[in-house]
Structure 1
């Protein structure tokens, strides 16, 4: 691996840390925030100090040959420990048990790092080996033991974390926690790569103990990319449950905002006399979707006196008869009723066109799974905002305007989607059809 193969992921992780730092600082007393900080920082540091140019530069600046290897070992040990600590707090459980296990892992890691330092100080490693230190010094006293300790600790931690993540992801298979499960499966892959890294290194070191360097390629060329990818995926795996729901929320808000466009535009003449609400240009997508839903709801209130209860009831029965579920039939009926009201009712201040009334009759809804119903022809009269007539079953609606039964951002988005599939010309029903009914 060349220097850029290390520096690019190190830079990406450093950027992620800078972006995440304000929120981490805000919750700096949280063990999870502290663990996330250590994971990202240790991953970035491990990449930066493992790059061959960095190894040579650090060794030259400190005057200690191969000290960069010690630094990388310490970084990766901290990464493994922080991953385990974050997993413990992420999974939860009795507070005393979580705190006890956290302290145990931190203490064990501190002991391992201290042992690294002692063994490195006792070793004699005059030759600078930026790429093959593990195999070159595998049989050298003290540093050889440091290498074995590092690989053993790394393999043990990877196995424990991988097993816990796999078991937890299996428990979440039936639960509605997809982002958490995807994060856990990513961590299983990440620590699987870490375990593979340790096993490949062990194999190469074992070959050196056997007196051959034929397997050095496993340590120098194959294992490092696995470790780099594993460290990067570890960071990604822990960030997925944090970032994923936010991205999903933004996508849902954008989708709802776009879906509400047809209904929002069609109701423009029914804005009313109130001053329009304004939001900042930097407002979130959720805020924009909420504002659009609020404006639609206000405009529907102005249109409500002109909605036909009989039309809605007949449309809902027709949609249900076509096999739609109750909720879907309700949305289709509301959309058809709104479209019919807009087609034959003038906005405030406009000349009143003739409005058809009478027995509702089926009318085609372009692209919809069910057919909306439109009122058939009858003697024309101007619309009046008064109590709607009884439905086809003779049930009289309550006093006042006919309310819309769909609410909320997602509900209005679906209403608008069905509304956009109904063309005004689809609501023109032949009088002969009405008479035949």
Structure 2
């Protein structure tokens, strides 16, 4: 089940993995999630039995799963090191240290497996059953210590990094979730190591910690790690989409008010299932183009008069300016449509320069007394988008 959840997270990251040539961190996150999926997949008792049967080697799955887990630990360390940044030299030294130490651990795991007696197949309790067997004992202890060291270092780096990313919203949320997940890994190591040490002292009454409790902790850890890596990107993406949807909706009154202004260029037709971001870009482009076409028909004196009138009525300067611009635009639309109308000799400056100006202008248009009259559904902008 956990492998499936991690697989979903991996699928979410596949686009970044495939197209992440310019962002190696995206590829590394996808690779880390892939390693986590492999750990849970190959650690399942049913998979263990299949792998043992396919290789023809009793308990072959043990060093295989331990190697994948050790590689996953190394990937975590490398990702956090590169995430935090630093000088190229420090990052290079840390990378080689991780490769060297954890590569050596993986080699040692297979050497111990080759030297030890592992003739009795154990699908669920390998760690405790072979806790006192020469070379198997060393292999088990080696992978647990390697895992614990990686967890301690990663947790420390994450919580230290959390102080630096406060106020960053989704990134901080992801770092906190990852920090909790890696901290819980210490409980996993304790649940695994405690019964092993108990076996060294002739006790088997704590085997349930390794067989029953540790897998549950591992499941929770897997979920937290998957969520922690997904939350920053997914949360930011969701925030951007909500912002785009809000801007698209708010700009509606202004787009409808400018519906009758001739376009300066041929409109780009969009299908009914066009992405929201593309429709928003189309609406902004339409509004700016219409405002440029309408600019010569805006009467500056008329706009200044409305602005001063609004201020005298107690409105804030920004609100008065937006209302004056909205009134001037509405009048300019009517003026541009009247036969034989000449544009004023004095051409005013730009009506709106930024998206914030456009939003304020659209809200002001909606507040004008005649706003409902210009709310058409068969406008050039709405039809093409």
TM range (shorter): 0.7 to 0.9
TM-score under structure 1 length normalisation? 0.74
Shift of 1:103: 0.4
Would the alpha carbon gap of residues 218 and 270 (structure 1) be closer, same or farther in structure 2, given more than 3 Å must change? same
Question: Retained in 1: the 8 A contact 2:326–2:362?
Answer: no
CA distance in 1, matches of 2:247, 2:221: 37
Shift of 1:35: 3.0
Would the alpha carbon gap of residues 144 and 13 (structure 1) be closer, same or farther in structure 2, given more than 3 Å must change? farther
Among 374, 386, 393, the alignment partner of 2:344 is 386
Partner of 2:8: 12
CA distance in 2, matches of 1:200, 1:294: 60
Shift of 1:270: 1.8
Partner of 2:78: 85
CA distance in 2, matches of 1:233, 1:214: 30
The number of residue pairs the alignment matches comes to: 370
Q: How does 1:294-373 map to 2 (within 5 A)?
A: 294-304=285-295, 305-306=297-298, 308-314=302-308, 317=311, 321-322=314-315, 324=316, 329-331=317-319, 333-335=321-323, 337-339=325-327, 341-342=329-330, 346=334, 348-349=336-337
Would the alpha carbon gap of residues 410 and 344 (structure 1) be closer, same or farther in structure 2, given more than 3 Å must change? closer
RMSD of aligned alpha carbons: 3.1
Q: Which secondary structure does the structure 1 equivalent of 2:365 belong to? A: helix
Partner of 2:257: 266
Q: How does 1:188-267 map to 2 (within 5 A)?
A: 188-267=179-258
Question: Whose relative contact order is higher, 1 or 2, with alpha carbons under 8 Å and at least 6 apart?
Answer: 2
Deviations 1:148-193 (A, max 9, x none): 221111111111111111111112225xx33332222122012112
- Where structure 1 has 5 or more consecutive residues not aligned to the other structure, the ranges are 353-382, 388-398, 428-437
Q: For structure 1, which segment, 92-101 or 195-204, has the greater mean C-alpha deviation from structure 2 after superposition?
A: 195-204
CA distance in 2, matches of 1:318, 1:66: 87
Partner of 1:42: 35
Q: For structure 1, which segment, 90-99 or 279-288, has the greater mean C-alpha deviation from structure 2 after superposition?
A: 279-288
Question: Retained in 2: the 8 A contact 1:180–1:241?
Answer: yes
Q: Which secondary structure does the structure 2 equivalent of 1:171 belong to? A: coil
Among 105, 108, 117, the alignment partner of 2:110 is 117
Partner of 1:391: none
Deviations 1:372-402 (A, max 9, x none): xxxxxxxxxxx86426xxxxxxxxxxx3146
Question: Retained in 1: the 8 A contact 2:298–2:331?
Answer: no
Among 413, 416, 433, the alignment partner of 2:362 is 416
Q: Which secondary structure does the structure 2 equivalent of 1:268 belong to? A: coil
Partner of 2:101: 108
Deviations 1:231-272 (A, max 9, x none): 343344334444544443333223212221221112111234
CA distance in 2, matches of 1:232, 1:23: 25
1:76 and 2:69 are equivalent in the alignment:
yes
CA distance in 1, matches of 2:286, 2:161: 44
CA distance in 1, matches of 2:22, 2:332: 57
Q: How does 1:387-402 map to 2 (within 5 A)?
A: 399-401=346-348
Among 277, 281, 289, the alignment partner of 2:268 is 277
Partner of 2:58: 65
Report the structure number with the largest CA radius of gyration: 1
1:179 and 2:170 are equivalent in the alignment:
yes
Q: Which secondary structure does the structure 1 equivalent of 2:334 belong to? A: coil
CA distance in 2, matches of 1:414, 1:69: 64
Would the alpha carbon gap of residues 100 and 10 (structure 1) be closer, same or farther in structure 2, given more than 3 Å must change? same
Shift of 1:228: 3.0
Would the alpha carbon gap of residues 283 and 153 (structure 1) be closer, same or farther in structure 2, given more than 3 Å must change? same
Shift of 1:42: 0.7
CA distance in 1, matches of 2:337, 2:355: 29
Question: Retained in 2: the 8 A contact 1:135–1:208?
Answer: yes
Would the alpha carbon gap of residues 306 and 217 (structure 1) be closer, same or farther in structure 2, given more than 3 Å must change? same
Deviations 1:82-132 (A, max 9, x none): 111111112111101110111001110101111111111122222222222
Deviations 1:35-93 (A, max 9, x none): 33431221111111011110111111111222212222111111111111111112111
